Amino acid sequence: MLHKLIRRKPERQNQSLAERISHTKKDQIPEHIAIIMDGNGRWAKKRALPRVAGHHEGMKTVRKITRLANDLGVGALTVYAFSTENWKRPKLEVDFIMRLPEEFLGTYLPELIEQNVRVVMMGENDTLPRHTQEAVRKAMEATKNNTGLILNFALNYGSRAEIAQAMQKIAQLVEEGSLSSSEVTEDLISQHLMTCELPEPDLLIRTSGEVRLSNFMLWQLAYTEFWFTETLWPDFDENCLLDAVDSYQNRNRRYGGLKGEESN
């Protein structure tokens, strides 16, 4: 009993990364991690760099975190790359951001393939620039048979729009007479969302000290553990992800056996 009260492990900071990873792997790994990658602009400002330099550095963090998540055995990683709100930013910044998928895939697609990662996307595809659509389409095609981590890019994504679109599809089925209103259940709604192939996130991470959901996966996050950190996304490294997963594991252990009851 007492060991539970003194569970804190101050030596964690001195462990090598490899030791930390193997320690974390011994416990339950979240099946699906979702991340709001905030703080890229602030990271750049602190260094007197243009905002786009922060976005570019943030792209490298996506690669780093994808590799570790895959290594840990995480099943799916969803990253919020561009929200439907982000169109309000200056045009030059948006133009730069819309080139990032091509650059990311141009550089990292070979290693994603080697790591058996499958790239997918959720969001409104049609209104993205053609070149962005093409890059993502090719990556999805090239990795469609991979069986490792699913790397899901939320791109031009908004959760309320996603829910509205699901409702329209369902309403249409009812109108046609192929569905009755009593068949509109939680499961049916889930099956019409853009995440229908994925489990619900077990862990949500938001960087940069903001504590809100910003129209991200509102339906899917109903039972998710939240982890907020002051760390800016470009500074978020392997140890930061392990901190978040360790915290998830500790919370899970505390609930032990209560799943679906008080733990809701």
Taking the least distance from each CB to ligand V07, the nearer of 227 and 233 is 233
**Any contact of residue 100 with ligand V07 (CB under 6 A)?**
yes
Tell me which amino acid residue 195 is: T
Shortest Cβ 165–ligand V07 spacing (Å)? 20
Which part of the chain contacts ligand V07 (CB under 6 A), choosing from 28-36, 58-66, 177-185, 215-223? 58-66
- The 76-83 sheet, strands edge to edge: 118-122, 150-157, 76-83, 32-36, 203-206, 225-228
Query: Of the candidates 43, 153, 157, 216, which one interacts with ligand V07 according to CB under 6 A?
Result: 153
Candidates 68, 59, 43; CA nearest to 108 is: 59
Taking the least distance from each CB to ligand V07, the nearer of 109 and 189 is 109
Q: What span, in angstroms and rounded, lies between the C-alpha atoms of 119 and 149?
A: 9
Q: Which run of H or of E encompasses 249?
A: helix 238-255
Number of Cα atoms under 13 Å in the Cβ half of residue 60 = 8
Query: Of the candidates 136, 150, 166, 204, which one interacts with ligand V07 according to CB under 6 A?
Result: 136
Shortest Cβ 248–ligand V07 spacing (Å)? 22
> Where along the sequence are the contacts to ligand V07 (CB under 6 A)?
37, 40, 55, 58-59, 62, 81-82, 97, 100-101, 104-105, 119, 136, 139, 153, 155, 233
